Structure 1
Amino acid sequence: MNDRPLPELDGVEHRFVDVDGLRMHVALAGRGEPIVLLHGWPQHWWQWRHLIGPLAEHHRVICPDLRGLGWTAAPPKGYSPAAMADDVIGLLDRLGVRAFDLVGHDWGGAAGYVLALRFPDRVRHFVAINTANPFLRPTPRVLLNGRRLWHIAANAAGHRLAGSVIPRWALRHWPHRPAALTPEDQGVFLAQFQEPARVRATVRYYRNLLLREIPSLLAGRYRWARLTLPTLVLSGDKDPILPTGQMAGFGSRAADLRVELLEDVGHFPAAENPSEVAQRVLRFLAINSLRPSPAEPRPAAHQHHPTANAASS
């Protein structure tokens, strides 16, 4: 158990919940229909600090820390999107939340896709932010773009890089707007890596990704799966590690998909242009608020083309 102080944010309540033996931290705010925000690496719930207020005006906002990150415990195993998805469902069961909207970024987006595919009766809408889609095929372009992901091998290599060098590099170089992550914010995220258990968690996340998840995805794990619920893909057009094509390209795998670009935004849209992200999320939820129930027939599959709307500064 760590004793790092939690950063303070007006209107946010913090809870620690036991989920099948995993002590999970969750930040809560607002009232209304639940919306779950799943963070990426090397971050935690504080990633959503600029979005919690605007979303809490309309929703009950639920921001868990994923296992091994933030203030959630770092067990010796379970560092896969499927395990994270199970953690989130277990947490929501204990909070009494049945149906919910879902936003996921980076690793949180990977867990979000698993939730959307496995629990379409519970996830009403899904927003994936700067996250590789699960239907990627090993095309020459995809394989060539793999060189952008050198940090995966670096984090998997061992504790020295995963605990200091790569997290610091990511927070400084992955945003297209570096000022969006202040030194103070970077310090809040980097403090977790002073704990050896969380460094080991990062190594396990990325070893599993390198040795199991990526080969399995490219081999077609989700070849026969179909994303049936309304989904919005938000993509920073200047993301240095994930080109837009790897965040979209779903084809017939998605029944109701919209892809939107955030202009002059890198890998951390929630920090680089939070007002635009909040507007896009709320607009998407409003447009799709009359989603048919699973028993009702869905309209014919369609996929919206990416839009390059300027993201306001």
Structure 2
Amino acid sequence: MSATVSSTFSRRFRRVAAGLAASLALGALSARAAPTPFPADFRSSQVVNADATINVRVGGHGPAVVLIHGFGNTGDMWSPMAAELAKDHTVVVPDLRGMGLSSHPAGGYDKWTQAGDIRAVLDKLGIDRADIVGHDIGTMVAYAYAARYPDKTSRLVVMDSPVPGIPPWNQIVRLPALWHFNFGGPDAERLVAGRERIYLDRFWNEFAGDPSKIDEATRRHYAAIYARPGAMHSAFAQFLAIGQKDEADNLKAMETKLAMPVLAIGAAKAFGANVAVVMRNAATNVQELVVPNAGHWLMEEAPAATIAAVQDFLAAH
């Protein structure tokens, strides 16, 4: 990685970290609707893969596309995109292990194992190849899936997240804005127990371009899910696995660059063009898009632009 890129990356995140500090006030936000329900023809089921039971929603007809959520959300975040893509795709929306309505196994939170969960879901559905879309931790799982199953990945879309181990990862993890990557020590669960909403509010607010876009009903919806027994333990395990296994797995995987088309979407007020910087170190065919005026929560802050970007990319390749 060149000194120029590293300097640009660091400057961008210093600005993000400074700007995000101003958003910590947790004032009351106007209540709108909770996450939009999935279309009525979507069905939910559970798929068992070794030690985990994965909750999954499926709807539509046509080529398959998988939508993978991250931390602070569940698969529910994708409902507006799922409704649009289902017009000409079979849309598969899992909850990651330990999150949403999936089970909370003791281990397996490394992203390589979770890629196996996604593959088990697709095998159960009789789907051989699929487009893979991920946001936040879902980006990490999406990359792991594409690296582990390149012959079963038609296209890859990654949204506003770095990927452990892939340069400039060593610069990224030192940035104050990513404090939560290391907030997983032995006392983390005790600190957050009964205070899940406070923790999540800070997370949502710090990474939002406009915190009011994450409305009160949406916050209540996700806070209730993350307050369930075992949920925060599993969530912290997602972050702990980054240093324990994900970095090494991806350093090995990136020795063979991804060949399928990749769309790297960044939010202008969060990771921005740096999503593409990361992916160009891991793939040979990367298209870059930065969504203007948006923070990290692209589906809440800029749903129309984000959906259109994914639709256009899938149609063009």
| TM-score normalised to structure 2 length | 0.80
Equivalent residues in 2 for 1:46-65, closer than 5 Å: 46-65=76-95
| Pairwise CA distance, 1:243 | 5.5
Aligned mate of 2:68, from 17, 38, 61: 38
Instruction: Label 1:248 to 1:137 Cα distance change in 2 as closer, same or farther (>3 A).
Output: closer
Question: Which range moves more in the overlay, 205-214 or 18-27?
Answer: 205-214
How far apart in 2 are the matches of 1:188 and 1:84?
24
How far apart in 2 are the matches of 1:200 and 1:116?
27
The one-letter code of the counterpart of 1:185 is: T
Residue 185 in 1 paired to residue 214 in 2? no
How far apart in 2 are the matches of 1:139 and 1:75?
28
| Pairwise CA distance, 1:15 | 1.3
Bigger relative CO (Cα 8 Å, ≥ 6 apart): 2
How far apart in 2 are the matches of 1:139 and 1:101?
25
Aligned to 1:226: 257
How far apart in 2 are the matches of 1:194 and 1:249?
33
Residue 205 in 1 paired to residue 238 in 2? yes
Aligned to 1:77: 107
Aligned to 1:235: 266
How far apart in 2 are the matches of 1:162 and 1:47?
23
Aligned to 2:177: 148
How far apart in 2 are the matches of 1:87 and 1:100?
14
Residue 136 in 1 paired to residue 136 in 2? no
The one-letter code of the counterpart of 1:177 is: D
Instruction: Label 1:106 to 1:74 Cα distance change in 2 as closer, same or farther (>3 A).
Output: same
How far apart in 2 are the matches of 1:66 and 1:154?
20
Aligned to 1:284: 313
| Pairwise CA distance, 1:222 | 3.6
Aligned to 1:106: 136
How far apart in 2 are the matches of 1:192 and 1:76?
18
Say if 1:154 and 1:166, in contact at 8 Å, map to a contact too: no
How far apart in 1 are the matches of 2:309 and 2:87?
15
Instruction: Label 1:194 to 1:93 Cα distance change in 2 as closer, same or farther (>3 A).
Output: same
Aligned mate of 1:257, from 253, 272, 286: 286
How far apart in 2 are the matches of 1:139 and 1:36?
26
The one-letter code of the counterpart of 2:238 is: Y
Say if 1:162 and 1:203, in contact at 8 Å, map to a contact too: no
| Pairwise CA distance, 1:46 | 0.8
Equivalent residues in 2 for 1:13-24, closer than 5 Å: 13-24=43-54
How far apart in 1 are the matches of 2:123 and 2:114?
14
Aligned to 1:9: 38
Aligned mate of 1:248, from 258, 265, 277: 277
SS of residue paired to 1:121: helix
SS of residue paired to 2:190: helix
How far apart in 2 are the matches of 1:136 and 1:21?
28
User: 1:107-145: CA deviations, max 9, x gaps?
Assistant: 11101101111211111001000121356336875465x
Aligned to 1:267: 296
SS of residue paired to 2:67: strand
Question: Which range moves more in the overlay, 246-255 or 23-32?
Answer: 246-255
Aligned to 1:172: 205
Aligned to 2:24: none
Say if 2:64 and 2:92, in contact at 8 Å, map to a contact too: yes
User: 1:169-201: CA deviations, max 9, x gaps?
Assistant: 112332212232211111111112222311211
User: 1:20-76: CA deviations, max 9, x gaps?
Assistant: 342211112221111100000021111112211111112111100000000000001
CA root-mean-square deviation: 2.3
How far apart in 2 are the matches of 1:101 and 1:49?
17
Say if 2:52 and 2:103, in contact at 8 Å, map to a contact too: yes
SS of residue paired to 1:221: helix
How far apart in 2 are the matches of 1:252 and 1:182?
36
| Pairwise CA distance, 1:97 | 0.8
Runs of 4+ in 1 over 6 A off after TM superposition: none
- Identity among equivalent positions (%) equals 23
The one-letter code of the counterpart of 1:229 is: M
Gaps of 5+ in 1: 1-5, 289-313
| Pairwise CA distance, 1:162 | 4.9
Equivalent residues in 2 for 1:274-313, closer than 5 Å: 274-288=303-317
How far apart in 1 are the matches of 2:50 and 2:84?
32
SS of residue paired to 2:208: coil
